[in-house]
Structure 1
Amino acid sequence: MTSQAADRPEQVASRRSKLTREREQEFFDAVLDQIRECGYDAVTMDGVAASTRCSKSTLYRQWKTKPQFVAAALRSNRCPRFAGIDTGSLAEDLREAARAAGGTSDKDQGLLQALGHAVMQDRELQQALREALVDPEINALRDILRRGVERGEVPADHPALEYIPAQMYGVLRARPVIEGEYADSDYLVRFVEAAVLPVLGLT
């Protein structure tokens, strides 16, 4: 019996070269770009393999299924736009958040729309989407509001505080549907000035 024949499957697997972080990110970027351009259902592992010049077996070996692959790609692109916003003023923090959200709204909302029905059918994909695009934003907005309360700019029991994150996140999703345009920075700052600051008693 040759040594190769005697090798156990786990030993063979351990000798496989691992993907570098850069190569892995190349796969992730490719699949998310294709989802934005073509929609989730049109994207295939074959297509991603061809665009990144790798074998389909490499992708399946790493991620097993397309939903697992896309979920991993979403998690890898987690980058809270509102992290680090702290001007010392709640009103200005909310304006800065609006500018940050507007700067990438076409990219993020395009991805959300392209994932569409698939997110509702796959719980892992849904959870990854929340972890990558929703929860970090909502939590960062809550931190902004909490600091405003701590500075005494807004009463802790102000009834509107609970709804501001949903209000700001909702307008990002709603404008493309209602007006056929993404909510850019200018639109979101005007929204904050007209609909968010007044209800908090800020000018």
Structure 2
Amino acid sequence: MAARSASPAPAAAQRRSRLTPEREREIYGAVLDLVREDGYEALTMDAVASRTKSSKATLYRQWENKPNLVACALRADQRVTLADIDTGTLAGDLHEMRRRVGCDVDRDTELLSGLGHAMQRDTELERTVRAVLIEPELQSLDGLLRRAVVRGEVAEGNPALEFVPHLMLGAMVAQKIIDGREADPAYLERYVDAVVLPALLTG
């Protein structure tokens, strides 16, 4: 399995914040509320400053630009992470992963869908969200799969390793399109057992 090199997080995400955690949460909440209300394209730093009674100078000093502010707000709001999953077996890890994803799959669907469309048109937003939000989770998934290889559960050269993120995301997208409903925990459990684990354990 090829190692995935994470994109460096934007400088503002790495800089030590001068704001209190409570103030950061307030700003992040306002940012996501504004995106829900008017969409990403209509969001402005002026609107965030007005909603949070902040100065634009403070916002730019902390986050540099709108894409980074939105990406950091999404990261702070993220309830599901793969970073600490390590049950000791591949099956256990994948089922813990699908449990976490399944519990959060219908949360803020409209917000995330709208941002997904915006990312297709805004390369800076796409790059920043990938660096701040997507790449850390892909790194965690790579680590999960690498441990399965080290334990001898999965062959080093199994070609399915490359496609595990696509398999998991594809399950959720396909269920919505084909069956007209979100991928619930029972569906994801059957999918992991019928598709993902066989692909990894027999390759």
TM-score class normalised by the smaller sequence? 0.7 to 0.9
Query: Separation in 2 of the partners of 1:58 and 1:31?
Result: 16
Query: Separation in 2 of the partners of 1:39 and 1:182?
Result: 23
1:115 CA drift (Å):
1.0
TM-score between the two structures when normalised by the length of structure 1: 0.73
Query: Separation in 1 of the partners of 2:83 and 2:116?
Result: 27
> What is the correspondence of 1:165-176 to structure 2 with a 5 Å cutoff?
165-176=165-176
**Residues 138, 172 of structure 1: alpha-carbon distance in 2 compared, 3 angstrom cutoff:** farther
Query: Separation in 2 of the partners of 1:93 and 1:68?
Result: 31
Give the paired residue count. 184
> What is the correspondence of 1:12-161 to structure 2 with a 5 Å cutoff?
18-36=18-36, 38-52=38-52, 54-55=53-54, 57=56, 61-62=60-61, 63=63, 65-77=65-77, 81-107=81-107, 109-161=109-161
Q: Secondary structure at the match of 1:191?
A: helix
**Residues 51, 107 of structure 1: alpha-carbon distance in 2 compared, 3 angstrom cutoff:** farther
Query: Aligned Cα RMSD in Å?
Result: 2.9
5+ residue gaps in structure 2? 1-17
1:91 CA drift (Å):
0.9
Q: Percent identity?
A: 47
Of structures 1 and 2, the one with the larger relative CO (CA 8 A, separation 6+) is 2
How far does the alpha carbon of each residue in 1:138-191 deviate from its partner, in whole angstroms, 9 at most, with x for none? 222221111111111122122222212221133334444444433333332221
Contact persistence 1:45–1:56 (CA under 8 A): no
TM-score between the two structures when normalised by the length of structure 2: 0.73
**Residues 74, 58 of structure 1: alpha-carbon distance in 2 compared, 3 angstrom cutoff:** same
1:196 CA drift (Å):
0.8
Which protein is bigger by CA-based radius of gyration? 1
How far does the alpha carbon of each residue in 1:87-120 deviate from its partner, in whole angstroms, 9 at most, with x for none? 1111111111111111222236544311133212
**Match for residue 189 of structure 1?**
189
AA in 1 matched with 2:157: D
Query: Separation in 2 of the partners of 1:200 and 1:42?
Result: 44
1:135 CA drift (Å):
1.6
Query: Separation in 2 of the partners of 1:180 and 1:133?
Result: 27
Contact persistence 1:71–1:124 (CA under 8 A): no
AA in 2 matched with 1:150: V
AA in 2 matched with 1:157: G
Contact persistence 1:75–1:128 (CA under 8 A): no
Contact persistence 2:28–2:76 (CA under 8 A): yes
5+ residue gaps in structure 1? 1-17
AA in 1 matched with 2:21: R
**Match for residue 164 of structure 1?**
164
